[in-house]
C-alpha cells in the first residue's frame, strides 16, 4: 500500500492556488462540516430514549430513526461525490450544509414520529452531498505532500474521533437542555461552516466536466440501499428473514451489475482507474475492514459502560475522551513520521487489534482504569494512524474530475462497513448472551454477565478482523 506515484493519473491535477493562510482556514471549515456529519450518528443515538418518550413511538420505531439516515446517506454517496465533480465544489458544499441544517431544524421541531424519520432521511440525503465535497475540497486545496499529510491528519482525527464527541455533546444537551437540541445544534455548526465557505473556499469546475452516468447511478444507489437495508433489517428480523436475504442478495447482484456496467460506460460514475490503483484500492479495503470492526465496538462499549457499569450518557461520553485525545495526537503525528503509509496503516491495524484483545478481558467487576482506559488509549493511537493514512492514500494522485467520487467512496466504505459490522457483531453478541443465560438462568447480575460475555466475544471477532487487516495492509 505504497503512496500514489507522481505519475499516477491526476498527477497533473488542476491545483487550487490558495495562499497558505487560506488553506488552513479551508481545513477548519471542512473539518467542522465533517464533524457535524460524523457526530450526528452518535449524538442522535444518545437522544433517542428522550425522543421516544416525547413523541411516543415504539421500540421498533427507534431503529427507523437510525436506519432512515443510514439508508439515504449510504446509498447516495457516490452520486453526491459525482455532483461535486460536475459542478462548483464550493456551491455543492454550501448546498449540502444548508440542506443538512434545514433537515436538522425539521427534525428538532418534529411533533410526530413520521416527521422525525423524514427529517433523518433528508439529513442523509444532504449528508451524502456534503461529505464527499468536503473531502474533495481538501484534495484540491492541499497538493503539497507535507502540507497534505498534516491536513489529512487533522481530517482523519475528526473522522475517527467525531463519534466520541457526539457521545459527550449528546449527553450534555440531553441532560441539561432537550433531546431536540441534539438536532438544533447542527444549525450552529452549519451557519459557521457556510460563512467560512463563502469567504475561504473558491469556486471553479473541473477542467473536464464529467457527465452523470444515470444507469450507473441507479444501479449503485439501489444496490447500496439494498445492502444497507439488509444489514439493518437483520439486526431486528434476523439473518434468515426473507426480506433480509432478499435485500442482501439483490444488493450484491445490483452492485455486480454496476461494476460490469462501469467497465463499458462512456462517462462512468465510478471510473475503474480510481480503484484499480493498488495503493488506493488497498486503502479502501482498509477503510472497510476498520469500519466493520470499530463501529460495533463503540456501540458495545457504550452499552457496557451504561448498562453493565451504570454510567450516565454524559459520563460515558466523558470516559471516551482519552481515546479522542490519543486519536488527535497519533493522526497529526502520523504525517511527520518518515515511514510509508503501508507500514503506518499496518501498525494502526495491529494496535487496534491489541486494544480489542485487551477489551476481551472486561467483566462486570472490571474497573475503568485497569482495563477500559488502556484499551481506549491503544485504540485511539491505532485509529489515528489508520484514518489519517487511508484517507490520504485513497485520494492521492487523482484528476480533479475524479476527486469527488473517490472521496465519496471513502465515506461509502466506512458507512457500509459500519452497517455490516454493527449488524453482524450485534447478532454474535446477542447469540452468545442468550446461550449464556440458558446455562445460567439465575443468579446475581445474570443479565449483566451474559451481556458482557456477548460484548467480549464481539470484541474478539473484531480483533480477528483487524488482524486480517494487518496482513492485507502489508500485502496490498
- pLDDT tens-digit series, residues 282-299: 888 998 999 889 888 888
| HEC per residue, 184-203 | HHHHHHHHHHHHHHHHHCCC
Burial class (CB in 10 A: 0-12, 13-18, 19+), 222: middle
Between 43 and 130, the higher pLDDT residue? 130
**330 within domain boundaries:** yes
CATH number for 91? 1.20.1250.20
List, for residues 193-224, the tens digit of each pLDDT value. Answer: 999 999 888 765 555 666 778 888 899 889 98
What per-residue confidence (pLDDT) applies to 409? 85
**pLDDT, mean over the chain:** 84
> pTM, whole model, 2 decimals?
0.80
**125 within domain boundaries:** yes
List, for residues 23-55, the tens digit of each pLDDT value. Answer: 888 899 999 998 898 888 778 877 887 888 889
What per-residue confidence (pLDDT) applies to 360? 95
**311 within domain boundaries:** yes
**68 within domain boundaries:** yes
**110 within domain boundaries:** yes
* Nearest CA among 306, 432, 400 for reference residue 49: 306
Determine the structural domain holding residue 89 and report its residue range. 20-212+269-475
**134 within domain boundaries:** yes
**373 within domain boundaries:** yes
**Rounded average pLDDT over 411-435:** 84
Helix axes 400-439, 113-141, angle to 10 degrees: 130
pLDDT of residue 337 exceeding 80 = no
Calpha distance 52→50 (Å, rounded)? 5
Calpha distance 134→408 (Å, rounded)? 10
Lowest mean pLDDT among 18-22, 138-142, 233-237, 461-465: 18-22
**388 within domain boundaries:** yes
What per-residue confidence (pLDDT) applies to 459? 95
What per-residue confidence (pLDDT) applies to 98? 96
Going by pLDDT thresholds of 50, 70 and 90, the confidence category of residue 11 is very low
Question: For the chain, what is the domain count?
Answer: 1
Amino acid at each position: 500500500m505504497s503512496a500514489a506515484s507522481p505519475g499516477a493519473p491526476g498527477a497533473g491535477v488542476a491545483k487550487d492556488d490558495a495562499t497558505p493562510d487560506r488553506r488552513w482556514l479551508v481545513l477548519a471549515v471542512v473539518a467542522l462540516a465533517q464533524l457535524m456529519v460524523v457526530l450526528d450518528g452518535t449524538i442522535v443515538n444518545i437522544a433517542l430514549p428522550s425522543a421516544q418518550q416525547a413523541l411516543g413511538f415504539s421500540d421498533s420505531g427507534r431503529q427507523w430513526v437510525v436506519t432512515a439516515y443510514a439508508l439515504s446517506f449510504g446509498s447516495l454517496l457516490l452520486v453526491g461525490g459525482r455532483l461535486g465533480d460536475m459542478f462548483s465544489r464550493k456551491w455543492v458544499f454550501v448546498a449540502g450544509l444548508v440542506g443538512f441544517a434545514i433537515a436538522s431544524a425539521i427534525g428538532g421541531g418534529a411533533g410526530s414520529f413520521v416527521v422525525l424519520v423524514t427529517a433523518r432521511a433528508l439529513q442523509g440525503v444532504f449528508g451524502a452531498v456534503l461529505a464527499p465535497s468536503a473531502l474533495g475540497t481538501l484534495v484540491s486545496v492541499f497538493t503539497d505532500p507535507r502540507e497534505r499529510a498534516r491536513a489529512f491528519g487533522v481530517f482523519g482525527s475528526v473522522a475517527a474521533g467525531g463519534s466520541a464527541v457526539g457521545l459527550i455533546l449528546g449527553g450534555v444537551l440531553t441532560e441539561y437542555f432537550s433531546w431536540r437540541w441534539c438536532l438544533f445544534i447542527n444549525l450552529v455548526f452549519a451557519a459557521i461552516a457556510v460563512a467560512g465557505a463563502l469567504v475561504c473556499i473558491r469556486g471553479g469546475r473541473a477542467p473536464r466536466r464529467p457527465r452523470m452516468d444515470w444507469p450507473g447511478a441507479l444501479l449503485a444507489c439501489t444496490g447500496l440501499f439494498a445492502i444497507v437495508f439488509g444489514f439493518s433489517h437483520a439486526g431486528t428480523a434476523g439473518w434468515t428473514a426473507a426480506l433480509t436475504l432478499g435485500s442482501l442478495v439483490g444488493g450484491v447482484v445490483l452492485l455486480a451489475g454496476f461494476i460490469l456496467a462501469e467497465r463499458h460506460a462512456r462517462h462512468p460514475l465510478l471510473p475503474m482507474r480510481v480503484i484499480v490503483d493498488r495503493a488506493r484500492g488497498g486503502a479502501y479495503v482498509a477503510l472497510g475492514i476498520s469500519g466493520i470492526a470499530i463501529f460495533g465496538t463503540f456501540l458495545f462499549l457504550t452499552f457496557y459502560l451504561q448498562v453493565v457499569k451504570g454510567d450516565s450518557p454524559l459520563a460515558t461520553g466523558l470516559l471516551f475522551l482519552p481515546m479522542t485525545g490519543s486519536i488527535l495526537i497519533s493522526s497529526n503525528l502520523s504525517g511527520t513520521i518518515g515511514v510509508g503509509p503501508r507500514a503506518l496503516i499496518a501498525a494502526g491495524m495491529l494496535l487496534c487489534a491489541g486494544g480489542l484483545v485487551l477489551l476481551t478481558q472486561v467483566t462486570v467487576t472490571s474497573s475503568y482504569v485497569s482495563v477500559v482506559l488502556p484499551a481506549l488509549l491503544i485504540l485511539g493511537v491505532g485509529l489515528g494512524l489508520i484514518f489519517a493514512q487511508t484517507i490520504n492514500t485513497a485520494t492521492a494522485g487523482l484528476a480533479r474530475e475524479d476527486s469527488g467520487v473517490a472521496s465519496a467512496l471513502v465515506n461509502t466504505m466506512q458507512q457500509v462497513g459500519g452497517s455490516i459490522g454493527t449488524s453482524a457483531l450485534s447478532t454474535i453478541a446477542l447469540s452468545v448472551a442468550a446461550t449464556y443465560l440458558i446455562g445460567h438462568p439465575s443468579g446475581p447480575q445474570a443479565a449483566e454477565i451474559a451481556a458482557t460475555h456477548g460484548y467480549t466475544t464481539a470484541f474478539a471477532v473484531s480483533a480477528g478482523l483487524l488482524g486480517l487487516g494487518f496482513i492485507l495492509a502489508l500485502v496490498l
